[in-house]
Every structure is written in structure tokens, then in C-alpha cells.
Structure 1
């Protein structure tokens, strides 16, 4: 089986999970969905929302998180390039692609021109 994508949360490839659900540039596996459901069901409704990096964590845990975050960033960049490639295949101009990405035509071409 070919690796097509990885879970954006646990980084497991589609070949190691039962189900991988895709969204615009992100994926979540069945195991992470189950974990999310259990967290949501057990969470008090008045709990404050804070970003994961704002938690009081030891340096070792913060450093450990850098690798999967970097891997997720790489996956998102690859997915974005693939979507830009699809837009080009369908006749999308660099102007339209740049507009969709909130950048100029020239910036879109410079960023993705060699990848598509």
C-alpha cells in the first residue's frame, strides 16, 4: 500500500490506520478522532482555551514537540503545492491562485512555479 498522507495529529501514515479523514490540507486518523471525542466528552464546558505552547511544560517536552510540528508543516506545504498544481492543471492562472492565497501573482509563481 502506498503512503498518501499522514495524520496531522499523530503523524501515522494512511497505511498504519484504519481510516484517515481529509480536510483542506489536513488529515485525522480514526485513533485521534476517538481521542478527541474522549477529550471533548470529559472537558468541562467552562475550561479556558489556551494554545498548547502556552501550557506550563518542561523544556524536554517542548523540544520533543518540535519534530512532529515540523513534520506537519512539511505535510501542509506539500499538500498546498499539490492543490496549486491541481489548480494549474484545471487552467487556474497565477493571478487567480495568488488571489486565493492572499498574495500577488508574482509571489505565487515564485513560491510554486518550480513545484508544479
Structure 2
């Protein structure tokens, strides 16, 4: 009897295969890689656990939240760039990428090429 091919694991968030990421953390039918965990941690650091709104925070607290917020944006941007680069290597058109993002082909090309 022929053995079934091994199933390749992927991060459920960025889509990278297990061979391209450090480690994958498993959940019920999902996996998350180190990089995506870092993005999630940045989001959690940016918003206090007992968030009562930006107006309830002092100037110092808001200033302290800027760096983690910027890191979250940078991390999310890096994940998106990686996804687009993977799609392009697979030969997916700028038209399809733009459509998936809700922008024109030209806008997708200008943003990610």
C-alpha cells in the first residue's frame, strides 16, 4: 500500500510553509508562525488590557503606545508584502492581486513592486 504524501503545514495567517518559518504554533485546525505571533504581540502591546479609549489615556501613555503601534503596522506590512511576493512568484497576476485587495491592478503594482 502506498503511503499518503506528508501534509505541508502553513501559517494560517501569512500562508508561509513550515520550511520558511522558525516554528508553528498549532491550534484547532490553525497554525501561526513566529513572525505572525510577533505582529499579534505588537497589537496587544499597543492597546492596554483595560482599554477605556484614547481620551482616557494620559499624554505619556499615548506617547508610550506609539512605538508598539508603529511596530504593529510595520509587521503587518511585512506580512502583506511577503504574501504578494509569494503570489507573484507563483505567477498570479497583478489584476488578481489588486482585485483581492479591492484596488486596481496599477495600484497593487505601485504598492508592492
- Shorter chain as denominator, the TM-score bin is 0.5 to 0.7
RMSD (CA atoms): 3.3
Find the counterpart in structure 2 of residue 22 from structure 1. 32
Tell me the TM-score normalised to structure 1 length: 0.55
Q: How far apart in 1 are the matches of 2:95 and 2:79?
A: 20
SS in 1 for 2:103: coil
- Relative to structure 1, is the Cα distance of residues 57 and 108 closer, same or farther in structure 2, using a 3 angstrom cutoff? same
Cα deviation, residue 83, structure 1: 0.2
Q: Following superposition of structure 1 onto structure 2, how do residues 42-57 of structure 1 map, counting pairs within 5 Å?
A: 53-54=53-54, 56-57=56-57
Q: Following superposition of structure 1 onto structure 2, how do residues 82-101 of structure 1 map, counting pairs within 5 Å?
A: 82-101=82-101
Tell me the TM-score normalised to structure 2 length: 0.56
Q: How far apart in 1 are the matches of 2:83 and 2:104?
A: 17
Q: How far apart in 1 are the matches of 2:36 and 2:52?
A: 18
Find the counterpart in structure 2 of residue 102 from structure 1. 102
Cα deviation, residue 54, structure 1: 3.4
Cα deviation, residue 26, structure 1: 4.0
- Relative to structure 1, is the Cα distance of residues 105 and 51 closer, same or farther in structure 2, using a 3 angstrom cutoff? farther
